[in-house]
Chain A
């Protein structure tokens, strides 16, 4: 059953243009069948939410992008500056550079101590030991942290390389599948073209044969008529 609106349009326009409405109604029916034959295809994956959120971001994007980098630099600066947070009777404070204890020891020596050469030697030796010990601890701690960082880096590299390899493998596989599909499509298209060509040539041969038959038939008639003319 044709859509009444379409039928009306076809009849009116066909009358005006001198066309055959039956043929156009047939085409319309073909289109209707095509619409019914269409089978919905699933939507490929695509980013739904980023599309929405990108136009109305709740937080500035630069903030989330640069925050980790900023924190890394800050941590590095604190580490290089040998910073310490100290809590004592005077409250909280942050110190940079050499340990305050050494300075304090050096600056809090009493006048009696300064006057005694043995005491001075002892204090200096203790201070030197203390500093050596702190430097050794610091170096040890930094070495441990460095090794840990190096190990993390290697692990990350391995994970990254594995994912990269997987990704490349999938890409190559997809490419191959796509190429194969294209090859099959082209091959099918070529086959259809060849079939069309063969069909055209067969039609030509049949036409030629038909013409030959007609010619032979005319010749036979002429030959049959010839004796009666004599």
Chain B
């Protein structure tokens, strides 16, 4: 009764056209999705585009959401698919550029921002060495801490393929001197 309403409650209210519930639902997950998108795309502008695509897709499919899966899992399933689509489109236009964080953003003192930017920049540079498919596997395994079964459910990719991609990612990083020497 008290405290914040559950995801399911917010979903139902959003389906009834209650804008506040939809806004609340977005704010609950936007940070996670945005940081996921940032790691996947490597820059803030594309990340925000991807976030909008994900939530648009969530909104359009909200009536199909059932309680069989947690909302957080469901939204990440959509995010994974949208990220894959994003790479397909991006590949058709141009190759992905160097990861670029134009400004730190995100609050706190300028010193905190600089520290966070440097730290995150290194992570982005590391992820950028991988292909999009490998990056998605690494993201889901190390950043989302999912099992291969969960990853397979969310992405629709067989577990053996996921394992092969993860192994290929590790081998690729092993071959890079800056990764080994760091």
Chain A bound to chain B: yes
Which A residues have a C-beta under 8 Å from some C-beta of B? 3, 5-6, 9-10, 13, 19, 23-24, 26-28, 30-32, 34-35, 37-44, 46, 48-49, 51-53, 55-56, 58, 177-178, 181-182, 185
CA distance A38 to B30 in the complex (A): 17
Q: Which residue of B lies closest to A19 (CB)?
A: B171
- Which residues of A have CB within 8 Å of B30? 43, 48
- Are A31 and B107 in contact (CB-based, < 8 A)? no
Instruction: Please tell me which one of the listed residues B106, B147, B148, B182 contacts residue A30 in the complex, with CB atoms under 8 A apart.
Output: B182
Q: Cα distance A143–B7 when bound, in Å? A: 61
22 residue pairs of the A-B complex, CB under 8 angstroms, read A6-B141, A10-B167, A23-B180, A24-B170, A24-B171, A26-B180, A28-B170, A31-B170, A35-B142, A37-B119, A37-B123, A38-B39, A38-B143, A41-B34, A41-B38, A41-B116, A49-B22, A49-B23, A52-B14, A53-B19, A55-B59, A181-B103
B167 touches A43 (CB 8 A): no
Taking a contact as CB atoms closer than 8 A, the residue among A6, A37, A43 that contacts B166 in the complex is A6
Does the CB pair A51–B171 fall under 8 Å? Answer: no
Is the Cβ of B51 less than 8 Å from the Cβ of A46?
yes
User: In the assembly, what is the distance between CA of A178 and CA of B51, in Å?
Assistant: 22
- In contact, B35 and A40 (Cβ under 8 angstroms): yes
> Is the C-beta of B102 less than 8 angstroms from some C-beta in chain A?
yes
Residues of B25-82 at the interface with A, using a CB-CB cut-off of 8 Å, are 26-27, 30-32, 34-35, 38-39, 44, 48, 51-52, 55-56, 59-60
Seen from chain B, the residues whose Cβ lies within 8 Å of a Cβ on chain A are 14, 17, 19, 22-23, 26-27, 30-32, 34-35, 38-39, 44, 48, 51-52, 55-56, 59-60, 100, 102-107, 116, 119-120, 122-123, 126, 138, 141-143, 147-148, 163-164, 166-167, 170-171, 173-174, 179-180, 182
The smallest beta-carbon distance between B37 and chain A, in angstroms, is 10
Q: Which residues of A contact B56 (CB under 8 A)?
A: 51, 55
> Which residues of the partner chain B approach A30 to less than 8 Å between Cβ atoms?
126, 173, 179, 182
Tell me the complex Cα distance, A24–B176, Å.
12
Q: Specify which chain A residues have a CB less than 8 angstroms from the CB of B14 in the assembled complex.
A: 52
User: Contacts A27-B173, A51-B56 given: A41-B119 contact, CB under 8 Å?
Assistant: no
| Cβ–Cβ contact B31 & A42, under 8 A | yes
What is the distance, in angstroms, from B45's C-beta to the closest C-beta of chain A? 9
CA distance A9 to B59 in the complex (A): 37
Assuming the A-B contacts A30-B182, A38-B123, A39-B116, are A51 and B55 also in contact, with contact meaning beta carbons closer than 8 angstroms in the complex? yes
Known interface pairs A41-B116, A178-B102; A31-B167 also in contact (CB < 8 Å) = no
Q: Which of B120, B141, B174 interacts with A41 by CB under 8 Å?
A: B120
Q: Which residues of B contact A10 (CB under 8 A)?
A: 167, 170
Residues of B within 8 Å of A178, CB to CB, are 102-103
Whether B143 pairs with A13 at a CB distance below 8 angstroms is no
Cβ of A173 to closest chain B Cβ, rounded Å: 13
- Inter-chain contact B166/A35, CB cutoff 8 Å: no
Residues of A within 8 Å of B59, CB to CB, are 51-52, 55
